[in-house]
Structure formats: structure tokens, C-alpha cells
């Protein structure tokens, strides 16, 4: 029997961590993810789990310690936000290239500056090319579910890459909402024991991790790493299918909401996409064919699949909760536009930067955006293709 509860996103992910009972969690606190290590250390102190909790002196250290633990053969994780992730930067790449299946519970917050603590995806988007798998949540339920599925994907022999499970800072991490939890034993069985083929503490097999790679090997190593990322697409789908059997909840690489016959589509990531769903229902009641594609898996990037799902749309707004300062739009905009081009899409496309530094997004904002898309479908894109939503002009 599923367990009905109400929890904040941080509580939900901490609860998932408790159920998974990983071996080692080094962590350093930073808003809005601070509660995560706090809850986990409570579980440890109360004897609920036997995870080794390591209070380290910085995020560079937390990722380093997680890598050491993972290489040693332990199931390791950490949690962070914003500048904490930035301080891990060097180590993120090493974790991925060393093929260590570490989990990182990321609570999305903008990178400084200006100094701000609120929700934005600039932290994880900045790390999008670090070789980590990235999966995003709309709400506490998805954040919980994503964490439970995380190790199954990361540790898969065809993947062997670290995974970042992302949820929106404060909006998801600190809001109490209804959630349906899975029983401990089902989670334990689903996640299983971590049995790495090779690990440092195996006295039968001495090994070395992270050797220097000369040019004659390094490019091949990177290509092999890229293959792990590509393989992850199918593994994400397989794991989601199995997860559905214990949870009844269906997950793909992305979610399509009323997209089948949609003429106007919004594509985006995270909590605001729930808000978009309410706008879509209101517009559908008026006969306007609005739809949504909510990205769940961003790394690997399901470009072809998304382009196929958007094939019937006349106008598409790609939403970025992140300014990439390319002068050409945000990361999702850039990557999806390129995928649509390769799929020979005829749709009009705009790239909308929204919700920066916690700027709120309302149902009306989406209704207006769909109105704009309807106009664009007929009259084409006026002004610039890359624009801001909710900005004081």
C-alpha cells in the first residue's frame, strides 16, 4: 500500500535517501539544500540508517570525499546548491571521467551574482557539460521518485556516470505538498545492493583510479564516456518502466501534457511547468490547442525524441530558467532549437528566459505566452527570437 504523506521537497528527498540507505554522504551546507544533509544526519544520529555522514569543510571536499568513497566501492552521495556546486566544478568532471556513479541531490538556486538565494537553473545548467546525468523534478513527488531511480541509472554497467537529481530551490524544496511514498522494503528491493565490478577496497584486485591520460588515450576515454551518456537514455526508460511497477507512476525522458494535438507548445523544466498545466487547461476550455513538453532528463539530451513529440506544433516557446549570457538564448533553447532544425521542423520557435533569481511565474504569464504563440504561428516571430518573460521593461 502506498503511503500518503505531506512533505517539503527537501524532506521528500531526505526520506528517499533514508530508504536507499547509501554508504557515505559527505556534505557542506548551503541554502536552500541545507536541510538535506541536516535531515540525513538526524537519521544517522537516530540510528535509522547506517550511512557514514562526513561533515566536510567545503563543497570541493564533499565531492572529493564522495569520489573517494565511490572509488572505494561505496554508494556515495552529496547535496548542494548554487555556489556550492560551483565550488565542486573541478571535481564534477573528475567524478564523471572516472566513471563514478555518485548521486548529487541538487536544489537549484541561481549562481551569484548578483547575490541571491532563490530558484534558478543556472547552477545545474552551468554543469551541463560536466558529464553528469541530469534529471529534473516538477514537484516533491518527482524529486522523491527521481532520487529512488537515480542509482539504478548511474550504476548501470552501460552507463557508469554520476547523476544529479535537481529540484527547484524553495519552490519545491521548502513547500509542503501531498506526496505518495513507497514502502521501505519495495524501495530497498528496487534499488538493490551496490556491487561494483571493480573497487579500490577489493584486496583481490589492486587497481588505480584517475590515472594521467596522455593525448594518445584521452580522446578515446572521452568518447567512451560519451557512450555511457548516450546509453543512459535507454537505461532511464528501462528503470522508469520498472519503477512504474512499484509506484504506479509513469516516467519518460520528458512528460507530454496535452501535446498530442497541440498547435502551440511550451517546453520547459521544473516547478513552473505545473503552473503551465493549469494555464493549458484554461485555454483548452476555450478551444485553444495548447500543450506542454516538460523536460525530465536533460543529460543525456533527448533532442530527437523531443523534436518528434513537437512535430505537430505550429509555434513553440522554449523556456530557460537560466541566462547563459551567450547573447543567443538559454541552454535548453540552444539545444532544442538545434534538434528541431535537424528534424526539419517547420515550427516557429522563440526562446523565453523566465523566473530568474526566484522571479515568480503565474498562470496568466503562461496564458499570455500561449496567446503570443498563436500570433506567432500566423504572423511569424517579430522582434527577437530570444526574449524575457516577467521583466520590467
Partner 1 sequence: MRELIEIRWHGRGGQGAKTAALLLADVAFNIGKHVQGFPEYGPERMGAPITAYNRISDNEIRVHSNIYDPDFVVVVDETLLEIVDVTNGLKEDGAILVNTSKPKEEIIPHLKGYKGKLYTIDARKVSMEALGKYFPNMPMLAAIVKISEVMDTDRFMDEMEASLKHKFAKKPEVLEGNMKALWMALEEVK
Partner 2 sequence: MDNTMNSKYKTENINESISWKDLTPGLQIYEAGTSKQFMTGEWRVNTPVIDFEKCKQCLLCVPYCPDSSIPVEDGKRLDFDYDHCKGCGICVKACPFGAISMKEGK
Options 33-41, 120-128, 206-214, 295-303: segment touching partner 2 (CB under 8 A): 206-214
CA of 242: how far to CAs of 33, 161, 383, in Å? 29, 20, 46
User: Considering CB distances under 5 to 8 angstroms, the limit depending on partner class, which of partner 1, partner 2, none binds residue 98?
Assistant: partner 2
User: Considering CB distances under 5 to 8 angstroms, the limit depending on partner class, which of partner 1, partner 2, none binds residue 208?
Assistant: partner 2
Q: Which of residues 227-286 bind partner 2 (CB under 8 A)?
A: 227-228
Q: Does 177 bind partner 1 (CB under 8 A)?
A: yes
Q: Which residues contact 342 (CB under 8 A, 6 or more apart)?
A: 303, 304, 307
Q: Does 118 bind partner 1 (CB under 8 A)?
A: yes
Q: Which three cell numbers stand for residue 251?
A: 516516467
DSSP-assigned beta bridge partners for residue 267? 293, 318
Nearer of residues 102 and 137 to partner 2, judged by Cβ: 102
Among 3, 176, 201, 213, binds partner 2 (CB under 8 A): 213
Q: Which three cell numbers stand for residue 259?
A: 501535446
Q: Does 247 bind partner 1 (CB under 8 A)?
A: no
| Helix, strand or coil, per DSSP, at residue 367 | helix
Going by the DSSP 8-state scheme, the letter that residue 58 receives in this structure is S
Q: Which of residues 306-325 bind partner 1 (CB under 8 A)?
A: none
Q: Does 32 bind partner 1 (CB under 8 A)?
A: yes
Going by the DSSP 8-state scheme, the letter that residue 115 receives in this structure is -
Instruction: Tell me the C-alpha distance between 30 and 85, whole Å.
Output: 10
Smallest CA-to-CA distance from 11 within 30, 37, 46, 29 is with 37
User: Edge-to-edge strands of the sheet including 297-299?
Assistant: 77-80, 103-108, 163-168, 133-136, 297-299
CB of 224 to partner 2, least distance (A): 5
Among 209, 363, 377, 381, binds partner 1 (CB under 8 A): 363
Is the bond leading into 130 cis (omega within 30 degrees of zero)?
no
Q: Does 382 bind partner 1 (CB under 8 A)?
A: no
Nearer of residues 112 and 384 to partner 1, judged by Cβ: 112
Cα three-residue angle 326-375-387, rounded to 5 degrees: 15
x/- map, 26-65, partner 2, by CB under 8 A: ----------------------------------------
Among 67, 88, 361, 376, binds partner 1 (CB under 8 A): 361
Nearer of residues 112 and 227 to partner 2, judged by Cβ: 227
Residues engaged in binding partner 1 (CB under 8 A): 6, 32, 117-118, 139, 168, 170-172, 174-178, 271-272, 274-275, 277-278, 358, 360-363
Amino acid at each position: 500500500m502506498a503511503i500518503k504523506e505531506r512533505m517539503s521537497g527537501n524532506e521528500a528527498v531526505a526520506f528517499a535517501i533514508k530508504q536507499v540507505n547509501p554508504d557515505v554522504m559527505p556534505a557542506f551546507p548551503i541554502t536552500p539544500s541545507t536541510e538535506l544533509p541536516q535531515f540525513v544526519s538526524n537519521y544517522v544520529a537516530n540510528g535509522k540508517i547506517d550511512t557514514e555522514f562526513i561533515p566536510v569543510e567545503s563543497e570541493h571536499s564533499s565531492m572529493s570525499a564522495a569520489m573517494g568513497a565511490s572509488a572505494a566501492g561505496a554508494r556515495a552521495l552529496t547535496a548542494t546548491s548554487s555556489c556550492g556546486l560551483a565550488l565542486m566544478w573541478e571535481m564534477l568532471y573528475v567524478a564523471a571521467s572516472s566513471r563514478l556513479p555518485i548521486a548529487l541531490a541538487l536544489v537549484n538556486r541561481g549562481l551569484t551574482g548578483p547575490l541571491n538565494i532563490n530558484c534558478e537553473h543556472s547552477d545545474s545548467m552551468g554543469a551541463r557539460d560536466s558529464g553528469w546525468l541530469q534529471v529534473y523534478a516538477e514537484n516533491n513527488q518527482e524529486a522523491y521518485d527521481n532520487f529512488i531511480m537515480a542509482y539504478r541509472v548511474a550504476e548501470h554497467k552501460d552507463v557508469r556516470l554520476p547523476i544529479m537529481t535537481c529540484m527547484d530551490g524553495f519552490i519545491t524544496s521548502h513547500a509542503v505538498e501531498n506526496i505518495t511514498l513507497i514502502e521501505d522494503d519495495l524501495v530497498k528491493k528496487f534499488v538493490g545492493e551496490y556491487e561494483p565490478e571493480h573497487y579500490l577496497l577489493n584486496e583481490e584486485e589492486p587497481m588505480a583510479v584517475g590515472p594521467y591520460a596522455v593525448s594518445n588515450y584521452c580522446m578515446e576515454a572521452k568518447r567512451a564516456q560519451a557512450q555511457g551518456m548516450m546509453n543512459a537514455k535507454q537505461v532511464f526508460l528501462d528503470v522508469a518502466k520498472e519503477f512504474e511497477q512499484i509506484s504506479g507512476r509513469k516516467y519518460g525522458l520528458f512528460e507530454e501534457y496535452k501535446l498530442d494535438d497541440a498547435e502551440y507548445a511550451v517546453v520547459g523544466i521544473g516547478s513552473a511547468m505545473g503552473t503551465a498545466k493549469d494555464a493549458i487547461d484554461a485555454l483548452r476550455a476555450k478551444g485553444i490547442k495548447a500543450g506542454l513538453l516538460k523536460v525530465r532528463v536533460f543529460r543525456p539530451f533527448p533532442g530527437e525524441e523531443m523534436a518528434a513529440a513537437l512535430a505537430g506544433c505550429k509555434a513553440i516557446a522554449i523556456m530557460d530558467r537560466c541566462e547563459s549570457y551567450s547573447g543567443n538564448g538559454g541552454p535548453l533553447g540552444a539545444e532544442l532549437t538545434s534538434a528541431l532544425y535537424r528534424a526539419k521542423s517547420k515550427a516557429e520557435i522563440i526562446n523565453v528566459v523566465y523566473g530568474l533569481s526566484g522571479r515568480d511565474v503565474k498562470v496568466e504569464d503562461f496564458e499570455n505566452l500561449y496567446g503570443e504563440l498563436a500570433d506567432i504561428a500566423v504572423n511569424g516571430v517579430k522582434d527577437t527570437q530570444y526574449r524575457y518573460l516577467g521583466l520590467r521593461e
